[in-house]
Amino acid sequence: MATTEVAVSPGLLLPPLTEEDAVRSWDRSRVHHARGHSKRWRLLWLLVGPGILAMLGENDGPSMIAYASDGAQYGLGFFVPFIPVLFAMAYVCQEMCMRVGAVTHRGYGELVLQRYGRVWGWFGAGDLTLTNLVTLVAEFISIRVGLAYFHLGSGVAVALGLALVVFTLSGGRYWRWERIVLGMALFNGLFLLAAILVKPHVGALVSSLAFSPFPGGSFNTLLLLLASTIGATVTPWMIFFQQSACADKGMTPRDVKHGRYDTAVGAVLAAIFGVGALIAGAALRVGGHQVISGIQGFAGAGFPQALGHVAGGAAGSVFALGLIEAGAVAILTISASTAYAAGECVGVSHSFNSSPRNAIVFYAANIGVALLAAAVILIPGAPLLSIALNANVLATVLLPVSLVLMVMLANDKGLMGAWANKRSTNVIGVAVIAFVGLCGAAYGIDSFLQTIHLIGS
């Protein structure tokens, strides 16, 4: 689409209207029309997307395996109410991302670079790239595990993941990309179906809401599962993705209320589906003993195969399909967050509304990081189990820095004006940062002390 110059008075020209501006203005005109004609449900439909995608995208393969591992290790207990609590924490963090994106019209990486300098900007991008690459490898493994249940190999997993990335990028519009991925993300509900198929004991499920029984066994294992479960709900890529997606969608301060609805719905759905994965995993705990461990869950068909033996072929098939969906959606959203960060840090076009010719860095980063992750799982002898099982832990360890910068941006009155954080939001935000940092540090310290044999396992 050619750029157009718009004259506002003789001798005065506005900057050229780019292809990206034109596409986004069309999307915004529909929002304006729905708001002006009091079409509430249509307005909500037009504005939902980034929040639901961030939350359901985080219900990725490693996360659902982490939840199922919690269930297989400890049964129905502490982790059933703990998962909704974590997603409530995630809502607080992601609401800030949405609000900053809608008010400033800029992505997280771009703002950090502008407000706090190149050191913090590039550190944040490096932090994101590292965690994203590790997590993307785990997503391809998740697809491979799901496909293995149907006797399909690694090559099919790689082809499927990369084909989805290329296909969703082909439309040249944020709206099209968002709607395709959103439609796929709703199949995260397969984990809830898997939970129903295993026929859980309702009484045990209700009693677990009192955070009991508290997990016993190895303290280090408990810390690992805590860190892994936290890393399954709040991660650096979510921060980059939702803020940048809100800016790419063209959200404004008038849209913040609907952005909160979008984020809240995403958090509720993700919590329900995450608990579903845990309940399905708890079916693998027979007679107080786990049938399969989290490590075995990434070997061959793992979890879905064991679930099929215990609860029937339908439960195993649904869980396997859920892993394929979870990995596929995460590949799309995590690759997008990497692309946003790359474009923002380099200072070039970073929008799905731009064509590949006008946003080479954005599209190259999107496809390139997926290609790199896909190549890793095809390397003979690559430590895939270690990568997959530690992806969420790595996210937990590296998350506090991103959260601190996020809270600082949301409190910047020069940027946010009347939309800056309230005191109550800051209190909760600081508590979340402290909790995440404490859990990550506790696991790291305990593991280190065990390694040098100062304490027993």
Beta-carbon contacts of residue 135 (< 8 Å; ≥ 6 apart): 60, 62, 235, 237, 330, 334, 391, 395
Instruction: With beta carbons less than 8 A apart as the criterion, state whether 327 and 142 touch.
Output: yes
Q: pLDDT class for 24, splitting at 50, 70, 90? A: confident
What integer pLDDT is reported at residue 6 of this predicted model? 44
Distance between CA atoms of residues 409 and 415, nearest Å: 8
Over residues 142-156, the pLDDT tens digits come to: 999 899 999 998 899
pLDDT 10s digits, 329-373: 999 999 999 999 999 888 888 899 888 888 999 999 999 999 999
Name every residue whose Cβ is closer than 8 Å to that of residue 99 and which is 6 or more positions away in sequence.
256, 259, 410, 416, 419
Q: Interior CA angle at 274 toward 99 and 249, to 5°?
A: 30
Q: Which residue intervals of 283-312 are DSSP H helices?
A: 302-311
- Considering only the top CATH level, what class is 50-451? mainly alpha
The DSSP H or E segment spanning 289 is strand 289-290
- pLDDT confidence bin for 22, thresholds 50/70/90: confident
CA distance 165 to 336: 9
Please tell me the predicted confidence (pLDDT) of residue 448: 64
Q: What is the mean pLDDT of the chain?
A: 85
For the chain, domain boundaries: 50-451
Helix (H) or strand (E) holding 8: strand 7-9
pTM (predicted TM-score): 0.87
pLDDT in tens, 78-115: 889 999 999 999 999 999 999 999 999 999 988 998 89
- 307, 130 contact by CB (below 8 A): no
Q: Taking the C-alpha atoms of 319, 325, 328 and 330 in order, what is their torsion angle to the nearest 10 degrees?
A: -90
Rounded Cα–Cα distance for residues 145 and 299 (Å): 7
| Of residues 370, 406, 410, 84, the one with CA closest to residue 239 | 406
**Rounded to whole angstroms, how far apart are CA atoms 271 and 265?**
10
Among residues 77, 186, 124, the alpha carbon closest in space to that of 399 is found at 124
pLDDT tens per residue across span 6-18: 444 455 455 566 6
